[in-house]
Chain A
Amino acid sequence: MKKNKHLLPMLMAGAMALSAGFASPALQAAEPVKIGMITTLSGGGASLGIDIRDGFMLGLKMKDGKLGGVETQVIEVDDARKVENAKQIATRMIKQDDVDIVTGIVWSNLAMAVVPSVTRAGKFYISPNAGPSALAGKKCHENYFNVAWQNDNLHEAAGQYVTDKGLKNVYLMAPNYPAGKDAIAGFKRFYKGNVAGEVYTKLGQVDYAAELANLRAAKPDAVYFFLPGGMGINFVKQYSQAGLSADTPLFGPAFSFDEGILKAVGDAAIGVYNTSQWNKDIDNAANTSFVEAFKEAYGRNPSLYASQGYDAALLIDSAITSVGGDLSDDDKFRDALRKAEFDSVRGNFKFGSNQHPIQDIYVRVVHKDGDTVTNKIVSKVFTAHQDAYATECKL
């Protein structure tokens, strides 16, 4: 350590002498808003990140590249779904690029690692997807806003819907990791019947034959599963091949029945119920124009993730407009965000005390519309639903 202590001041002095010659960057008159977008664009799960990014950029494009009338610069970096990368990118955005707002993260574990360092540095974080319980409860922060959902929300809705339908013996399945356990806990919070079986599978599991055989032997009334990404595709395909879909209805959160995933699963998903806060057939002006514009810009149907990215852009737009393009006062900007004065594509939207959404949650069914397999809304499960952790948050 001795070496270090001598060196440091020496080098510092040298550096200062050298850098004295370089003028500090001149202050610009109208400073653009800088938004850092950290999301997953490569490797596994890239489609989610790409959807969020595309949704967000569409929102920006529809405001002519100016959120709240201010020139907006989006710095977009791929985190390759690695915590370390995400953390490093966040540090750079804070220290070097001096962004005003960070957004984009897809995964809860990445969010858990990155969000605290963003908020601690006095920047704002707008979550377009992940909503881990800690950040909604005990570790909530005044600069952290979630524009998607708290992780449990869709599972809670499923629990309620299954109970409403009078199903009394449900089999539960999720991967063996925290989000999986939260999902099952969220489901059980509103489900009143008997649990026919509760199975935790390997993360990233590919083949579910063994679980399906056990499931059949347990003879449940219905099955609720949470298997995000490729795991869900595997499961639904194999569930249908095992001939289970005829007698035992399948329920899941929207994640496994997104437009992209339905394209990959095909007819095997028909008849599956899934819970979501959004669907492309929700009838309001904001949603209609979003769906149209998205299809035109990218040539595909928007997904849940895209809608969340889009809403994140709109939320920021509304807040910047409200403070008249001046982001210098954090308190004012925060209050503006809290008001959430934007037309969400999902209709009713406001923030709870923990700055997570209070919103309606629907149940959708997968059906065939002409040649495409897609979702339609069946009914509304919750109106103005708030998450269970808001009371733990001291804001």
Chain B
Amino acid sequence: MIKVLFFAKLSEQLGCRELQVNAELVQDTEQLFAYLNEQNNQWPAILKAQTWLKAVNQNMTADNVKLNDGDEVAYFPPVTGG
């Protein structure tokens, strides 16, 4: 399974903080994003409304990353700490 996490404004808008995706259904993060868009008919509008950042196994990346069983992918808005 691939663990998918959403944070802050994005998790609030999606109404979801975490979900598990069968690793056989998605080969990489591009496919995962497409899969997420199909999970709820309100999600595509939210997912394309602004630029969300992505981290794979807790490393931020803008690339399309190959996924393996047990990986963790997180989506979130630009950070605002400090």
Q: Do the two chains bind?
A: no
